[in-house]
Amino acid sequence: MFNAPTPRVEAQFSPLARRLTDAGLDSLATPVTQQGGRGGGRGGRGGGAFAAVQELNRKRAQFFVDEGALGTVAPGRGDGGTVFTTNGMSRDVNAPAAVPGIIMASEHYGRIVRTVEKGVPVTLEINNQSRFLDRDLNSFNIVGEIPGTDARLKDEVVMLGAHFDSWHAGTGATDNAAGSAVMLEALRILKTLNLPMKRTVRIALWTGEEQGLLGSRAYVRDHFGVVDSTGPQLKPEQSRVSAYYNLDNGTGQIRGVYQQGNADVAPIFTEWMTPFKDWGVRSLTMRNTGGTDHLSFDAVGIPGFQFIQDPIEYGTRTHHSNQDVYERIQDEDMKRNSVIVAAFVYQTANRDAKLPRKPLPAGRAQP
């Protein structure tokens, strides 16, 4: 059963890959009112419109079941052979049954639809093998650290991290093996240089980010507490974390930092970015960027930051697509990112005080 109209595939007159211009970086400094969203990427999930779409999808899925469809075929977002995947079913083991859904390239889908419209029979041979892996329902984060060297400050922590789970169409190279590799390399740099770091430096590679920040939210809940509608319920470890740095916007070079509404870190980060001005690292923005693991830390009052990155091909080619593969990685960008992250972590670990914090609200929902 065809699940979507034939898409109109426009010619591409703009490059698929781009770097942020000075004007683009300057525009990030302009305050905006927004619900979330990743710096020009993914938006927030809240609101009645999202709930309405969910309900429509539920009814449509039930319609296909009632009609006895063997499966559905739909075009993916994108063209030129790029197929952006979607989530076809609920991850709830008790969710109603649904028929298999196949996403294919827009050009292939259009050819099939046109052929059917002309009255020519089309036969699709689909090998679909799906199953719930429910023997072990646990997921696992990967955590490691370099102990601090200062007797007074070694119990305080600087964290850096990225998620290592990915979608299925490619190999997850830019989302988010790139972020994981950069954070590992940053830690390797710090360990190899063997420079004294007063605070403990801890890396965490998260699972379940693509399902709703499950890994980082569980870690934060277990170690630092929660802030929910009843107010803060924080653990002693929460006060000992200076900052959490996250990387999850592809392979592009870091150009600055989303401050996540924390105005007091601006002069600190401006000074730390100065050595990298020749690389174009120069932008700070008060904007909130959402959709990734720093939100778990920000939600409990820990300074959590996501870096601003050149988009390269993230939104146009690689994000959740069959093109998210090793060949799309930019080597030089990755090397520079590791150096920049290592510098930020080193500076945070050795400054006299922890990074300034925003006021903690009396109560709010988790991300």
248, part of any domain: yes
- Mean pLDDT for the stretch of residues 216-241: 95
Same domain membership, residue 152 and residue 112:
no
Q: Under a CB-based contact definition with an 8 Å cutoff, are residues 177 and 93 in contact?
A: no
Residue 204 CB partners (closer than 8 Å, separation 6+): 141, 142, 143, 159, 160, 161, 216, 219
Q: What is the mean pLDDT of the chain?
A: 90
Same domain membership, residue 166 and residue 52:
no
Residue 9 CB neighbours (<10 A): 14
88, part of any domain: yes
26 token code pair: 């300057």
Same domain membership, residue 213 and residue 108:
no
13, part of any domain: no
Counting the structural domains of the chain, the total is: 2
Same domain membership, residue 211 and residue 254:
yes
**CATH assignment of the domain containing 331:** 3.40.630.10
Boundary residue ending a domain (117, 150, 167): 117
Same domain membership, residue 156 and residue 83:
no
Same domain membership, residue 155 and residue 199:
yes
Same domain membership, residue 311 and residue 218:
yes
- Mean pLDDT for the stretch of residues 201-221: 96
With cut-offs at 50, 70 and 90, classify the pLDDT of residue 10.
confident
**Which amino acid, residue 130?**
S
Same domain membership, residue 190 and residue 102:
no
For 80-106, what is each residue's pLDDT tens digit? Answer: 989 998 776 677 778 888 888 888 999
271, part of any domain: yes
- Mean pLDDT for the stretch of residues 132-146: 89
Helix 178-193 with 331-350: angle, nearest 10 deg: 50
Same domain membership, residue 57 and residue 161:
no
For 311-363, what is each residue's pLDDT tens digit? Answer: 999 999 999 999 999 999 999 999 999 999 999 999 999 999 999 999 886 66
32, part of any domain: no
Boundary residue ending a domain (68, 100, 117): 117
The secondary structure of 40-69 as a DSSP string is TS-----SHHHHHHHHHHHHHHHHHHHTT-
Same domain membership, residue 327 and residue 213:
yes
175 token code pair: 């989302």
With cut-offs at 50, 70 and 90, classify the pLDDT of residue 32.
low
With cut-offs at 50, 70 and 90, classify the pLDDT of residue 364.
low
Domain hosting 292: range is 142-350
291, part of any domain: yes
112, part of any domain: yes
239, part of any domain: yes
